[in-house]
């Protein structure tokens, strides 16, 4: 996938037909290959093209989280929480970071808030 995407001109075709930056897909390819440095580079490029795209921001946060750069991941997840308050998945990722790095009370506070928003979310079963 990464090889094929490298042939796409980002000047002529910065987005796909659904308005996702092509760099987002390149980032996802490198992420799946566990090349987190390359994935982050391409995700940040996608963010420059589409700075308020929730999938791009979520991807960047996820790469930071997988790289154990929790402070940067937390910053992205909090930003997404403000921009997209009903996008629950990144907030659950934030909850996971909180549960691993902060006192229980802070995690519980976010958990209670998320349960009110989406009590049927299947990801809560794994927490």
Calculate the alpha carbon distances from 34 to 31, 39, 56 in Å. Answer: 5, 8, 17
> Which pLDDT belongs to residue 16?
52
Give the homologous superfamily in CATH for domain 2-126: Tetratricopeptide repeat domain (1.25.40.10)
State residue 13's pLDDT score: 47
Cα(120)–Cα(123) distance, integer angstroms: 9
The confidence score (pLDDT) of residue 7 equals: 53
* pLDDT, position 1: 59
Q: In this predicted structure, what is the pLDDT of residue 89?
A: 95
Q: What is the mean pLDDT of each run of 10 residues along the chain (127 residues)?
A: 55 57 92 97 96 97 98 98 96 95 90 90 80
pTM above 0.85, yes or no: no
């Amino acid at each position: 996938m990464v090889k094929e995407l490298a042939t796409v001109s980002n000047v002529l075709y910065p987005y796909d037909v659904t308005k996702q930056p092509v760099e987002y897909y390149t980032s996802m390819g490198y992420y799946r290959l566990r090349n987190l440095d390359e994935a982050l580079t391409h995700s940040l490029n996608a963010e420059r093209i589409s700075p308020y795209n929730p999938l791009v921001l979520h991807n960047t946060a996820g790469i930071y989280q997988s790289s154990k750069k929790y402070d940067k991941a937390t910053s992205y997840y909090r930003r997404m929480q403000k921009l997209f308050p009903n996008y629950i998945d990144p907030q659950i990722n934030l909850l996971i970071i909180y549960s691993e790095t902060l006192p229980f009370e802070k995690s519980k506070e976010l958990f209670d808030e998320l349960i009110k928003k989406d009590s049927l979310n299947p990801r809560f079963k794994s927490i």
